[in-house]
A and B are shown apart, each in its own frame.
Chain A
Amino acid sequence: MTAVVQQVGTTVARVRTGWRTKAKPGQLLTHLSLLILVLIWTAPTAGLLISSFRSKDQLAVSGWWTALAVAVTQEGTRLPTADSSIAETGLFVIRGRLPGTDMGTKIRSYGLNARDLTAAAPGESLSMQDGGSITVEADGSFEWSADRPFTHTRGPRLFYVVERSPRFTIDNYIEVLTTSGLGRSFINSFAVTIPATFIPILVAAFAAYALAWMRFPFRNLIVVTVIGLLVVPLQMSLIPLLSLYNDIAHAFGAADGKTYLGVWLAHTAFGLPLAIYLLRNYMLGLPREIMEAARIDGASHFQIFTKIVLPLSFPALASFLIFQFLWVWNDLLVAMVFLGNQETKLVLTGKLASLLGTRGNNWEVLTAGAFVTIVVPLTVFFALQRYFVRGLLAGSVK
């Protein structure tokens, strides 16, 4: 055994130095190609991130990539009614500021008709149908004055071209984060995800070892069946399985078979074929010599598995853990069917989907929602990255 451990130790040390080439002429090309690929891959995600800081109205009229530039937009507003006028030294005045303007914005021109936006430059006056004349300044403040009292009950409209420095809002995030019950659905998601990630890893690791390194009848048949089961469409298994759950629940006198246990077991089973397939492939690549040496030392399969194979398989276990975690965390269907979507049981994805509104009218919150949910899987990814990126084994020495 000690010899084996030593061997593993040196292998680890060897691999830890990594395969890093020294500076070469082709190095620049490597940097450049990778940079281009990363940029292409990141563009949609970046777009989503930027979009999440923009309002729904902004999203509907301009592309996210324009968010960082000075925007020139054409807007309209309705001026106040006579009620808000004040009397001033023989004049009647309505003062105010155009919506969304401040020191950082600049009015280029304005007009009283949507088709004539350049009727007046800032500082110039236009005469109004309801009496008097209006002057809009470059900073967006306006003054409408007349020598007779105002009587209009419906404010006239004013249109303007405005230059705006980039504008961002955290409203989308506020809407997501202040949803009542968000905290609870976070906990629900954890309650579903953690067991549903760990159970299949354990079950699959043992099975994968048996299928990779043990000799017994029907081994290849089982391997092939596992691959074949990867393709069973999830949608087809929902009804038979929920019927089974409900039958069991009814036998015990419960109303329905929707429990956390049911979701864990379902996710475990749906994740198993991929887990077994990936782990078996990885374990097959482990150096044969280590295992043979251990066998000669009198170690049983159980000892080889727990003391040698399991630690060596960390990269593969970590990769699968990430994928299973992601899949369960982002799943809506399985949780919806096997847990239900009562307020108390709703998982995070279900909660976000319900923010959409019956007709999907609040789709803009999905932009923020995507980043609220992504925090957890990304944390898991970063936490585990060192395991599968560094790599613990020396592959197959064939």
Chain B
Amino acid sequence: MLRLSLLAAVSLMSGPCLGAEWPDLSGQTITIAGPYIGPDEEHFRAVLAPFAEATGAVVDYAGSQQFSQQIVIDTSSGSAPNVAIFPLPGLAATLAGEGKLAPLGDETETWLRDNYAAGQSWVDLGSYEGPDHVRRLYGFTYKTDLKSLVWYVPDEFADAGYAVPETFEDLQALTEKIVADGGTPWCIGIGSGAATGWPATDWVEDLLLRLESPDVYDQWVSHKIPFNDPRIVAAIELFGWFAKDNAKVAGGTNAVGTTDFSLSPQGLFTVPPQCYLHHQASFISSFFPENVVLGEDADFFYFPSYAGKELGKPVLGAGTLFAITNDSPGARALIDYLKTPQAHEIWMALGGFLTPHKGASLDAYPNDTLREQGQILLNATTFRFDGSDLMPGAVGAGSFWTGMVDFASGRSAEEVATSIEESWKALP
């Protein structure tokens, strides 16, 4: 009920805020298809309400758990919605290459560059080769996740006398200290049903950004250096330092591959705790037990970088991308609406939403935890996207996942990287 009244309050509050400069779209229907379901869907509808009111358009959103499958079918069959929200850039890139997406135009590109923190990286994320092999902006990122976070329970740290590590060296020392004290430092679970393996790809990407310069990361993602380059293998091995040591992972190495990522953080909150640390993106807090109060019972720290390397503070993230799959004035107006701070602040207030929009007020976040995460996003010096999302689907959502599962089940980093490289080379 509380959520409902909050939603009502938000839509009341933001309704009149939208200016009068919006085109009159009465009588038109804008269809949107996306992956937001459940609470996310409710929140997104709250975002759409003022837009519908200001333009008079009917905004018809359809959320689906099997969005990816549906958008492939709909775009191939001639019943594409006006706007599609892609959870993975890889699929958007594929469809752009087949001419199924409409370019967003230079104006939007400039806008993104100027108004999103680390704007160029967001432009890069949404730019793909069209059917004519020219790179253009097709995807507008809205709703982001922050990946480089480590979750912990401050009270347990206080009870055991541990301090939040400031550098990667400290993090490794802390890991070893916890083992020496007879505890288990990490909870790592990479199970995710059909997508098993993805949490491990986040680990590897985060570690690569700490070991090597962002250039190496970009070359790796765009396949300019092979997947089994020694530097990549080193990053995988570093993940192994954490995950392939029975003493360092709750349940032992065997549990890594089969523990569901959603159940994995539970170990932080058991009595006594099964582990002290959990590396996962910002959204994971929605999987914590119900009575956990963020900021009090659980908190996060930035996955630290090496003090010994001059690589700044790299931040890894991901997001959903809006693209026009069936061009119409309404679809264009909707993308313009996403540029307004209101479109961001409405969802910020409802929780579970981060944005790099510099114009959106940090005050809109409902709690300090989200505000700090929003701040990290705005302050990022080096911002990189989830590399597996950027690789071709067959690798980034295929052999990379499988490879990480194989790695967790015992194969060597070298072997795994080589087999992923082979699958990448075999792509047409």
| Direct A–B contact present (CB less than 8 angstroms) | yes
Chain A residues engaging chain B, CB cutoff 8 angstroms = 55-57, 60-61, 74-78, 99, 113-115, 117, 154, 157, 159, 238-239, 242-243, 245-247, 250, 255-258, 332-333, 336-337, 340-343, 350, 353-363
Query: Contact between A360 and B155 (Cβ–Cβ < 8 Å)?
Result: no
Query: Contact between B289 and A114 (Cβ–Cβ < 8 Å)?
Result: no
* Bound CA span A337–B193, Å: 23
Decide if B63 is an interface residue (CB 8 Å cutoff): yes
Question: Residues 143-171 of chain B: 1 if any A CB is under 8 Å from the residue's CB, otherwise 0?
Answer: 00000000000011001000000000000
Q: For residue B287, which residues in chain A have a CB less than 8 angstroms away from its CB?
A: 359, 361
- Smallest CB-CB A-B distances: 3 pairs: A242-B77, A357-B38, A256-B79
Q: For residue B39, which residues in chain A have a CB less than 8 angstroms away from its CB?
A: 357
Q: For residue A360, which residues in chain B have a CB less than 8 angstroms away from its CB?
A: 193, 262
Contact count A vs B, C-beta below 8 Å: 113
Decide if B5 is an interface residue (CB 8 Å cutoff): no
Q: For residue A356, which residues in chain B have a CB less than 8 angstroms away from its CB?
A: 37-38, 65
A-facing residues in B295-320 (Cβ within 8 Å): 296-297
* Bound CA span A337–B74, Å: 8
From the candidates A246, A250, A255, A353, name the one contacting B65 in the complex (CB within 8 A): A353
Return 11 A-B CB contacts under 8 Å, by A number: A57-B290, A78-B293, A157-B155, A242-B74, A243-B78, A245-B77, A333-B69, A356-B37, A356-B65, A358-B37, A361-B286
Q: For residue B271, which residues in chain A have a CB less than 8 angstroms away from its CB?
A: 74-76, 114, 117, 159
- What is the predominant secondary structure among interface residues of chain A facing chain B? mixed
Query: Which partner residue on chain A sits nearest B75 by CB separation?
Result: A239
Q: For residue B60, which residues in chain A have a CB less than 8 angstroms away from its CB?
A: 342
Known: A114-B273, A257-B79, A359-B286. A341 touches B296 (CB 8 A): no
Query: Contact between B76 and A243 (Cβ–Cβ < 8 Å)?
Result: yes
Decide if B227 is an interface residue (CB 8 Å cutoff): no
Query: Contact between B40 and A357 (Cβ–Cβ < 8 Å)?
Result: yes
Decide if B428 is an interface residue (CB 8 Å cutoff): no
Decide if B252 is an interface residue (CB 8 Å cutoff): no
* Bound CA span A339–B36, Å: 19
Q: For residue B293, which residues in chain A have a CB less than 8 angstroms away from its CB?
A: 78
Nearest CB of A to B16, in Å: 26
Query: Which partner residue on chain A sits nearest B35 by CB separation?
Result: A358
* Bound CA span A344–B330, Å: 21
* Bound CA span A74–B274, Å: 13
Query: Contact between A114 and B65 (Cβ–Cβ < 8 Å)?
Result: no
Query: Which partner residue on chain B sits nearest A353 by CB separation?
Result: B65
Q: For residue B62, which residues in chain A have a CB less than 8 angstroms away from its CB?
A: 340-343
Q: For residue B64, which residues in chain A have a CB less than 8 angstroms away from its CB?
A: 336, 341, 350, 353-354
Query: Which partner residue on chain A sits nearest B297 by CB separation?
Result: A78
Decide if B266 is an interface residue (CB 8 Å cutoff): yes
Most chain A CB within 10 A, of B40, B63, B78, B272, is at B78
14 additional contacts, CB 8 Å, given A78-B296, A242-B73, A362-B38?
Answer: A60-B289, A77-B291, A113-B159, A154-B296, A239-B77, A243-B77, A258-B79, A333-B66, A336-B66, A341-B63, A354-B64, A360-B262, A361-B38, A361-B262
Q: For residue A78, which residues in chain B have a CB less than 8 angstroms away from its CB?
A: 293, 296-297
From the candidates A61, A243, A245, A359, name the one contacting B266 in the complex (CB within 8 A): A61
* Bound CA span A239–B41, Å: 27
Question: Residues 36-49 of chain B: 1 if any A CB is under 8 Å from the residue's CB, otherwise 0?
Answer: 11111100000000
Query: Which partner residue on chain B sits nearest A250 by CB separation?
Result: B78
Query: Contact between A337 and B37 (Cβ–Cβ < 8 Å)?
Result: no
Question: Residues 49-61 of chain B: 1 if any A CB is under 8 Å from the residue's CB, otherwise 0?
Answer: 0000000000010
Nearest CB of B to A100, in Å: 9
Nearest CB of A to B48, in Å: 13
Most chain B CB within 10 A, of A159, A257, A341, A363, is at A341
From the candidates A157, A245, A250, A353, name the one contacting B37 in the complex (CB within 8 A): A353
Nearest CB of B to A78, in Å: 7
Q: For residue B272, which residues in chain A have a CB less than 8 angstroms away from its CB?
A: 74, 114-115, 117
Query: Which partner residue on chain A sits nearest B289 by CB separation?
Result: A57
Nearest CB of A to B267, in Å: 10
A-facing residues in B259-282 (Cβ within 8 Å): 262-263, 266, 270-273
Q: For residue B241, which residues in chain A have a CB less than 8 angstroms away from its CB?
A: none
Q: For residue A239, which residues in chain B have a CB less than 8 angstroms away from its CB?
A: 73, 76-77
Nearest CB of B to A293, in Å: 53
Decide if B22 is an interface residue (CB 8 Å cutoff): no
Nearest CB of A to B264, in Å: 10
Nearest CB of A to B21, in Å: 28
Query: Contact between A246 and B77 (Cβ–Cβ < 8 Å)?
Result: yes
Query: Contact between B77 and A354 (Cβ–Cβ < 8 Å)?
Result: no
Decide if B70 is an interface residue (CB 8 Å cutoff): yes
Decide if B283 is an interface residue (CB 8 Å cutoff): yes
* Bound CA span A355–B41, Å: 10
Nearest CB of A to B181, in Å: 10
Nearest CB of A to B258, in Å: 15
* Bound CA span A359–B38, Å: 10
Query: Contact between A354 and B296 (Cβ–Cβ < 8 Å)?
Result: no
* Bound CA span A243–B271, Å: 56
* Bound CA span A353–B67, Å: 12
Q: For residue A363, which residues in chain B have a CB less than 8 angstroms away from its CB?
A: 262
* Bound CA span A363–B65, Å: 12
Nearest CB of A to B132, in Å: 24
Query: Which partner residue on chain B sits nearest A116 by CB separation?
Result: B272
